[in-house]
Structure 1
């Protein structure tokens, strides 16, 4: 649903994109769930979060799980396409 909505908006403003087809400007990634929330709330890069550690964010106890490693690879990929 979100992707379709984003594509509709991009098509309306297609002149703002470098590609003839605005869909070519989108990159789909995983939702960075707890590691992303912790990283953002604590201003700590995901690469510096220790897997297995717990952090309090907005009154919730969140754990950094092994998916943080996958997120680091995704972030490296996103950096490479900029």
Structure 2
């Protein structure tokens, strides 16, 4: 058995924390939208432009890596190699 890799052990929780942060960001954005709809619309356009600028192959690489990790981990648990 190899020693636990601290980077790999934190990868999945870190991803989930980022997703939680993005969801929680909707609360202050809704307050901004209530009082300054023009500012909220500009912020949404800016975020959309940022996400659109990320190349499609990078999204595919991330998805493949994440799904591959999940499948490998499930396979290891089925075989009894991982806990």
Length-normalised TM-score, structure 2: 0.30
Higher strand share: 1
The structure with higher relative contact order (CA 8 Å, sep 6+) is 1
Structure of greater Rg: 2
**TM-score scaled by length of structure 1:** 0.30
